[in-house]
Every structure is written in C-alpha cells, then in structure tokens.
C-alpha cells in the first residue's frame, strides 16, 4: 500500500513549473481509478473541506466555467503549448470568463457539485484536450498535498510571468462535530454529525460491527474486512485489513484483532504499515496513547506511549475493557465493574456489582446491570448514580451525551443527565457515540 506523504513546507516553484492547486489531507482518486475501487477515472481527486481555496496551477486564461456535466461547477484554464488544467466540483468561482490569471491566483473554492460523493477538487492536466497521466507518482492514493507546492512533473512551458508563489499558512483544523453511529437489524450502518436532529447518512450495508471516533468511522463487513473512512461521512471507504474479528479507533490509530487472535496497530495514514502487538488476543481497546488488550484467558494488558512500550498486567478474569486517556474500566467475569484513574499503577475502585456492560468518557461512567437498568455517574469515581431507565440492552456515554438501545430503539440525551430523551432510530442493534 502507498505510504502517507506528509505535507511539509513546500519548496518554491521554478519559473516554468506548475503548482499544486489545493491543500488536501487525502488523495481519493488518481489517473486510472478511484482509490479503493476498480473503475475508470481521469485526473487526481484531492479531498478537502467545502470552501477551501483553489489556486491556478499556472498562468492562463479562463476558457470555461460551466455548471453542467459530471464535473459540476468547474473551470478550465488554457496555457501555452496546448496545455490546459481543469478544476472540478467547485462550490463557487473567484474569476470570470475570459480573465487572465497568474499562477497561484485563487480561482474558486472546493465543493461537491456534479457527480461527487463528497467535498473534493477534481484536477486534470491536459494537452490538446487529452488528460495526461503525470501526477500519480507525486500524488498516489492516500497521500496528502500542500497548496502552491511545486508539481514535480515538468511540462514544456515558458517561464511564468509571476514570481514563484509562497504557500499560504496551513488551514486551522475544523472543530470535530459530535457523531452518532447506529447499526440496524439488516446490517446497514447509519451515521450523523452535529445536532441530534441532523439527518442520517447511510454509509454502507452488510456490517456486523461498527464504531465512530472523531473524524473516522469503521465497519467490519460480513466477510471480515475492516473498512474505515476518514473525514466526512460521504468520504470514500478504504479496506484497511481483511480477516478482522474486533477493532478500535482512537484519533489516527486503528487497533485490530484478527480472526487468528493476533493484535496489530496502525498509526497515521489509512495506508500505513501495521505493527504487530501480541498473539492470543481476544479484544483490543485504544484511547489516546493507551493500548489495551484482553487475551484469551481474560487477562488485561495495557501499555502507554510508544507501541514498543512494555505491557503492564492490569487484571484477570475480565470480559470487557474500556479506556480514556486517564481512566481504565473493566467488567469482570463475575459481573463486577471497576475503574482506576490516573496512571497505569493506580488502585482499582469498585463501581458496582451485577454489571453486564460499561462505557466511560471524560468524567462520566455508565453501567448496565443484569436487570437491564442503565446508570450513569458524572464526576469522581464515587459520585452518585443517575438511573437512565430499564429494558435497556446497551448504554454509551460521551462527555456531553448518553445513548441507549431500549427495545430495539436508539435514544440519546444531551447535556444534563436528567435531560429529555430523543428517539433516534428503530430496529437498532448497535450504537456508537463520539
């Protein structure tokens, strides 16, 4: 798989060089095919948020800025010696028909118009109207790009009339919206971003397990393949590993347990290398810099920091492990819930007996007891419990939300623990919050 190409401060473009038209965290299509698909595709797709500035790759005239065709709102710039560049799926223009633009000029803004599955820039370099396959080596699948960095391929173009442009400051990271994921009885994975009344997005069918975390969502399909997408809910899926029995997401990390019981970690790009962690693993949990495993004998091991750090043995006879960057929670095989707070060597504090499932996030701890009643405490490890209701089969918490599955329906409340419930969906078998 192609390695992640990290964006750095770009060198200045030479006088006759084209420049990269946009900053992107993920290349999702190359000349030949869309990444992860066996299809046909011309040009390069740069995934980026809607509204991000798009720059002219070289001096030229605006020949076309039509809103028709599969390219949606797009611009074609003509350049000397038969060259042209196309910028597709824009959300808007910054130039007019017939205008002359200099290399590095803002000409439009990233969008998702036309035949598009999510915000991105479709970029082509053409000569005499034919799309050229000249960018795949610099921008392979899952690479990144920095706006105004030089394109390393060298066309036979005259020296630009403008000095080499200086790269803009990197865009500030957008705040991550809260996300909810559900799996229905047919195995369809729906997710939504933002408010509780936001629309559901059908992300895929055929799922057996799913999770949401930050900007990533993941799903195991019926064949055991783990699929992950990074960014918007309409971003492309990537098949990151076959034969997966369990997985966990945390930031840029993915942890898996294979059907053979081997645990691996990927850190960074979705195309990055997998690092072996352990044999005889039954489940894996990630939280920030922590990695936790339950082995086949019910022993919990946790390490912190580097994936090469030594394992610490935390507990025996455990069937569930949950973690944050400062807390570790377990449910033992005899249905007792414990949590520790602080470093890996802090003492365990018993939470409750007769517990079948636990969730922790921020200062909140949620438990589901053997009577199908869910309880949540907010604050210290001995704060009072608030009852969430009965006939519940799953409970999940974030720092600001509580979610439950009750009689096959997903319900979520936001803010105060005594706030109102909102029914989210019916026929639900899985629930994940971030």
pLDDT digits (tens, 9 = 90+) for 232-286: 888 889 999 999 999 999 988 999 999 999 999 999 888 889 999 999 999 999 9
Query: Where do you find CATH 2.130.10.30 in the chain?
Result: 179-433
* Residue 359 Cα distances to 49, 351, 367, 409, angstroms: 32, 12, 7, 18
Is the Cβ–Cβ distance between 424 and 432 less than 8 Å?
Answer: no
Predicted local distance difference test score (pLDDT) of residue 33: 92
Query: Where do you find CATH 2.70.70.10 in the chain?
Result: 1-152
**Whole-number Å distance between alpha carbons of 358 and 376:** 10
The hierarchical CATH code for the domain 1-152 is 2.70.70.10
Is the Cβ–Cβ distance between 274 and 267 less than 8 Å?
Answer: no
| Tokens (6 digits) for 213 | 């975390």
Burial group, residue 415, by CB count within 10 angstroms (0-12, 13-18, 19+): exposed
Residues forming beta bridges with residue 365, ordered by sequence position: 360, 377
Closest CA to 124 of 149, 87, 98: 87
Query: Which CATH code of 3.20.20.60, 3.40.1190.20, 2.40.37.10, 2.130.10.30 fits the domain covering 179-433?
Result: 2.130.10.30
pTM greater than 0.75 (yes/no): no
Predicted local distance difference test score (pLDDT) of residue 171: 57
Return the half-sphere exposure (C-beta side, CA atoms, 13 A cut-off) of residue 362: 14
Out of 27-31, 52-56, 282-286, give the one with best mean pLDDT: 282-286
| Tokens (6 digits) for 167 | 């790269």
Three-class secondary structure of residue 78 per DSSP: strand
**Whole-number Å distance between alpha carbons of 19 and 152:** 9
| Tokens (6 digits) for 34 | 């869309």
**Whole-number Å distance between alpha carbons of 217 and 432:** 10
> Mean pLDDT of all residues in the chain?
90
């Amino acid at each position: 798989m192609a390695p992640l190409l990290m964006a750095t401060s770009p060198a200045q473009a030479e006088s006759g060089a084209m420049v990269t038209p946009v900053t992107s965290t993920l290349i999702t299509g190359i000349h030949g095919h869309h990444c992860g698909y066996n299809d046909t595709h011309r040009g390069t797709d740069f995934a980026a948020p809607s509204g991000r500035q798009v720059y002219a790759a070289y001096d030229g005239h605006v020949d076309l800025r039509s809103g028709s065709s599969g390219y949606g709102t797009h611009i074609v710039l003509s350049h000397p010696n038969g060259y042209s560049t196309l910028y597709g799926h824009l959300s808007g223009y910054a130039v007019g028909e017939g205008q002359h633009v200099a290399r590095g000029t803002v000409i439009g803004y990233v969008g998702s118009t036309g035949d598009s599955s999510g915000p991105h820039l479709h970029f082509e370099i053409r000569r005499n109207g034919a799309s050229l396959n000249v960018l795949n080596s610099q921008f392979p699948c899952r690479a990144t790009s920095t706006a105004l960095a030089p394109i390393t391929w060298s066309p036979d173009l005259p020296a630009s009339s403008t000095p080499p442009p200086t790269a803009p400051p990197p865009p500030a990271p957008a705040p991550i919206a809260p996300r909810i994921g559900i799996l229905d009885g047919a195995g369809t994975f729906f997710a939504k971003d933002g408010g509780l009344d936001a629309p559901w997005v059908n992300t895929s069918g055929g799922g057996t397990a799913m999770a949401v975390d930050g900007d990533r969502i993941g799903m195991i399909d019926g064949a055991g393949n783990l699929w992950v997408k990074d960014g918007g809910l309409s971003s492309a899926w990537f098949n990151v590993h076959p034969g997966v029995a369990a997985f966990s997401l945390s930031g840029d990390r993915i942890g898996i347990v294979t059907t053979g019981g081997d645990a691996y970690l990927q850190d960074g790009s979705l195309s990055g290398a997998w690092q072996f962690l352990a044999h005889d693993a039954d489940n894996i949990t990630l939280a920030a810099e922590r990695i936790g495993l339950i082995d086949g004998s019910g022993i919990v091991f946790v390490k912190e920091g580097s994936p090469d750090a030594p394992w610490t043995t935390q507990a025996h006879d455990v069937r569930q492990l949950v973690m944050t960057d400062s807390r570790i929670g377990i449910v033992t095989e005899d249905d007792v819930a414990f949590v520790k707070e602080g470093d890996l060597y802090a003492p365990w504090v018993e939470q409750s007996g007769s517990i079948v499932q636990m969730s922790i996030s921020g200062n909140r701890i949620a438990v589901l007891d053997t009577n199908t009643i869910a309880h949540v405490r907010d604050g210290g490890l001995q704060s009072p419990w608030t009852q969430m209701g009965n006939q519940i089969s799953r409970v999940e918490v974030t720092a600001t939300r509580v979610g439950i599955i009750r009689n096959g329906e997903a319900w979520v409340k936001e803010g105060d623990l005594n706030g109102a419930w909102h029914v989210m969906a019916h026929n639900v078998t899985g629930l994940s919050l971030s």
